[in-house]
C-alpha cells in the first residue's frame, strides 16, 4: 500500500507517533488510509451540508476496513462573487483546489481518496487532481437544492438576476423583486437548474468517477447519503485492488462525457473544464471534439436555463442512466468506478418520463447544447449554449457596442443605452486580461430581464455562468489581452453571427483588422498575489484555460 511509506518499519516510528496523536492505534496501521477532500464551508449554499455527506463516506470507509482522514479545500460561490472583483478568483480557484488535493494526498501517501464536492470549480479541480496524481479516487457531489416557488412559478438563481433586469426596465416593482429574491434559493444544495455545478456532477458520473445516481440525487434526498456511504465502501475496494483513475477514464470516457453534455444541454463552462481535466488524464480533448459530437447528438431534455425543467425533474425521469440508455447506440463501453461498465449502466437505465427525457427521434433540438463558432473575431474558437438561444437569434447581424469591462456594459444595459440590434462586446475579461476569465451572468440576465433576449447579442473573451441564456458567445480566443482580433472591433462595426454555420465575424477585411491591431494599446490591469501567478501561467480559453 502507498501508505506503508508512513506507517511500516521501525524508521517510520516518528510518523506513527504523530498519527497516534491523531487518535490512531496499532490496529489502524494495517488498514488502507483513505483521504476525504471536503469543500464544506458556511459561505456556499451548495456546500453547507457536505459534512453530513462526509460522515456517510467515513462510515462506508470504516465498514470496508479503511481508515478515513478528512481535510478541507476552498470553494467560491460564483453567484455571490458575480459582478465584482471576486469573480476574477473563481476560475483561479479551480487550480488552487486541484493543487490542494494533490498536496494533501501525495504529501501524506494516502492509498485512496474521495472528493466531496458540489459547485462550479470544485468538482473540476478535484477531477484534475485525480488525473494528475492517478491515486485511486471517487467523487461524491453534494446535489442540487429544491426549486424555489413564488406562487405557481418555479424559481432559481437565474430568476433573481433576470428580475433585476426586469426591475431596471420598470416591468416589476421593488416588492416583486424582493419576493423573488427571498424565494428563489430555498435551502442547501447547488442551484437547481442545469448550471455548471450540476452539469459537472452529471459529467463526473458519466466519466465513471461518481457512483450511479449521484449526479442528480438532490442535496436533501436520503439517497445521497446512501450513495456517499457506498462510495466509502467502494473506494476501499479500489485502493486494495489498486484500481486508479487512469484505469477507469480514457479518451473514450471523455467522448461519452461530451456526448451526454451535448444531449442534456450543459453549461458552456464544460468547454473549459473537460479539456483541462482531460489534459491531466493524459488524453486531451479539444473544442473540435465538442463541435463534432454536438453536430450528431440530439438535445433530448430542456432544463433551466434554456427550458422549464430542473435537476429534480431529470432525477425523477431516470437521471444519467436514463440519458445513457437513450444514447446507448453512441455510448462507448468503458470501465467505471462502479464495478459495472458504461454499457451495462446504459442498458439498465430506464426513462421514467418521456417528456422530460425525449427519444432521439423526438428531441428538443436536433443538435447538442454547445456550438463552437470561429471567424475573424475568434480564429481559435468561441462557444455558445445554442440550446438556450431563441430561433430568432440563430442568425444575427448587429451593431457593435464595445466595452472594456463587464461593469461598463452592465451599466449601459441597465440605463437603457443598449437597444435592439446591438451586439455588445465585452473584452479584456479573458484568462490573462481580467485575469481569471470572470462570468458574465449579470449582463446576460439584464439583457433577458429587459426583454432584449431575441434582439441583442453579447460577445466576450470572458465566460458565462451556466445560468446564462440567449445570444451569449463566450471564450473568444485569442483574448484581447493576448492580441486577439476582438481587440480591433470598434463601436458601429457590423457583427455577423451564424450559429448553424458556426461562424462569428466582424465585417472588416483582414487588412483592416491588421491595421487596427497595429494601433491597439493593450489594457493592463495591475495584479498581485495569486492573480499575478495565474496570469503568467494560464493559457487560452480555447485550451481550457489550462496552466502551463
Catalytic residues: 465
How far lies 40's CA from each of 36, 96, 142, 190, 304, in Å?
11, 16, 10, 13, 26
Alpha helices in 210-353 (DSSP H): 222-241, 245-248, 251-264, 270-280, 287-295, 311-316, 319-326, 342-348
> What is the CB-side half-sphere exposure of residue 175 using CA atoms within 13 A?
0
Radius of gyration of the chain (CA): 23
- Which backbone phi and psi does 537 adopt, to 5 degrees? -105, -25
> How are strands ordered across the β-sheet holding 494-498?
370-373, 381-385, 472-477, 457-460, 422-426, 395-403, 494-498, 503-506
DSSP three-state, residue 210: coil
Place of cell 492517478: 134
Please state, in angstroms and rounded to a whole number, the distance separating the CA atoms of residues 478 and 439: 17
User: Residue for cell digits 439584464?
Assistant: 446
Contact 101, 65 (CB under 8 A): no
Give the C-alpha separation, 93 to 47, whole Å: 15
Backbone phi and psi for residue 483, each to the nearest 5 degrees, phi listed first: 85, 20
Cell of 302: 430542456
* C-alpha cell read off for 56: 456517510
Alpha carbon 115 to chain centroid, angstroms: 16
Q: Give the DSSP H or E segment for 153.
A: strand 153-155
Helix (H, G, I), strand (E, B) or coil at 101: helix
Element (H, E) at 506: strand 503-506
Retrieve residue 526's grid coordinates.
Answer: 495591475
Backbone angles phi, psi at 336, to 5 degrees: -140, 170
The phi and psi torsions of 320 (rounded to 5 degrees) equal -65, -35
**Within a 10 A sphere around the Cβ of 85, how many other Cβ atoms?**
13
Q: Distance between CA atoms of 317 and 322, rounded to whole angstroms?
A: 7
Task: Specify whether the CB–CB gap between 383 and 473 falls below 8 A.
Answer: yes
Between CA 302 and CA 290 the distance in angstroms is 19
Q: Which runs of E-coded beta strand occur in 418-477?
A: 422-426, 457-460, 472-477
Angle at 54 between CA 205 and CA 257, to 5 degrees: 10
Amino acid at each position: 500500500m502507498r501508505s506503508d511509506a508512513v506507517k511500516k518499519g521501525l524508521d517510520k516510528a516518528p510518523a506513527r507517533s504523530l498519527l497516534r496523536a491523531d487518535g490512531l492505534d496499532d490496529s489502524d496501521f494495517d488498514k488502507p488510509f483513505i483521504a476525504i477532500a471536503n469543500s464544506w464551508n458556511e459561505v456556499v449554499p451548495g456546500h453547507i451540508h457536505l459534512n453530513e455527506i462526509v460522515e456517510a463516506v467515513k462510515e462506508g470507509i470504516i465498514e470496508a476496513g479503511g481508515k478515513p482522514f478528512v481535510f478541507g479545500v476552498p470553494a467560491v460561490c460564483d453567484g455571490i462573487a458575480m459582478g465584482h472583483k471576486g469573480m476574477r478568483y473563481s476560475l483561479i480557484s479551480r487550480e488552487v483546489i486541484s493543487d490542494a488535493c494533490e498536496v494533501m494526498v501525495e504529501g501524506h501517501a494516502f492509498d485512496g481518496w474521495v472528493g466531496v464536492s458540489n459547485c462550479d470549480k470544485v468538482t473540476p479541480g478535484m477531477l484534475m487532481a485525480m488525473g494528475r496524481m492517478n491515486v485511486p479516487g471517487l467523487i461524491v457531489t453534494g446535489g442540487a437544492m429544491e426549486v424555489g416557488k413564488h406562487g405557481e412559478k418555479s424559481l432559481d438563481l437565474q430568476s433573481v438576476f433576470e428580475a433585476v433586469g426586469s426591475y431596471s426596465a420598470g416591468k416589476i416593482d421593488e416588492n416583486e423583486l424582493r419576493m423573488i429574491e427571498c424565494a428563489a434559493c430555498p435551502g442547501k444544495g447547488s442551484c437547481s437548474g442545469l448550471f455548471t455545478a450540476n452539469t459537472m456532477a452529471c459529467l463526473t458520473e458519466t466519466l465513471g468517477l461518481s457512483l450511479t445516481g449521484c449526479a442528480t440525487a438532490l442535496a436533501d434526498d436520503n439517497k445521497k447519503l446512501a450513495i456517499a456511504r457506498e462510495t466509502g465502501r467502494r473506494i476501499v475496494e479500489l485502493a486494495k485492488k489498486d484500481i486508479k483513475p487512469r484505469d477507469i477514464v480514457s479518451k473514450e470516457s471523455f467522448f461519452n462525457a461530451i456526448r451526454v453534455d451535448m444531449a442534456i444541454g450543459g453549461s458552456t463552462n464544460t468547454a473549459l473544464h473537460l479539456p483541462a481535466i482531460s489534459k491531466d488524464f493524459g488524453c486531451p480533448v479539444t473544442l473540435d471534439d465538442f463541435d463534432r459530437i454536438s453536430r450528431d447528438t440530439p438535445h433530448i431534455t430542456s432544463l433551466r436555463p434554456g427550458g422549464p425543467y430542473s435537476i429534480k425533474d431529470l432525477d425523477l425521469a431516470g437521471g444519467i442512466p436514463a440519458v445513457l440508455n437513450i444514447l446507448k447506440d453512441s455510448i462507448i463501453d468503458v470501465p467505471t468506478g462502479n464495478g459495472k461498465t458504461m454499457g451495462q449502466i446504459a442498458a439498465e437505465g430506464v426513462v421514467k418520463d418521456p417528456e422530460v427525457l425525449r427519444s432521439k427521434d423526438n428531441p428538443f433540438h436536433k443538435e447538442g447544447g454547445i456550438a463552437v463558432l470561429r471567424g475573424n473575431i475568434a480564429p481559435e474558437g468561441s462557444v455558445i449554449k445554442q440550446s438556450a438561444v431563441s430561433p430568432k437569434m440563430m442568425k444575427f447581424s448587429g451593431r457593435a457596442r464595445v466595452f472594456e469591462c463587464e461593469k461598463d456594459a452592465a451599466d449601459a444595459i441597465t440605463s437603457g443605452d443598449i437597444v435592439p440590434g446591438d451586439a455588445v462586446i465585452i473584452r479584456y475579461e479573458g484568462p490573462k486580461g481580467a485575469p481569471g476569465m470572470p462570468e458574465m451572468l449579470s449582463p446576460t440576465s439584464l439583457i433577458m430581464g429587459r426583454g432584449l433576449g431575441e434582439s441583442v447579442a453579447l460577445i466576450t473573451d470572458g465566460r458565462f455562468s451556466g445560468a446564462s441564456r440567449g445570444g451569449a458567445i463566450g471564450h473568444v480566443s485569442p483574448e484581447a489581452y493576448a492580441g486577439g482580433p476582438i481587440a480591433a472591433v470598434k463601436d458601429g462595426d457590423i457583427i455577423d453571427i451564424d450559429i448553424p454555420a458556426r461562424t462569428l465575424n466582424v465585417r472588416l477585411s483582414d487588412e483592416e483588422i491588421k491595421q487596427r491591431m497595429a494601433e491597439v494599446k493593450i489594457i493592463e490591469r495591475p495584479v498581485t498575489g495569486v492573480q499575478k501567478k495565474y496570469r503568467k501561467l494560464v493559457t487560452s480559453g480555447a485550451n481550457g484555460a489550462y496552466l502551463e
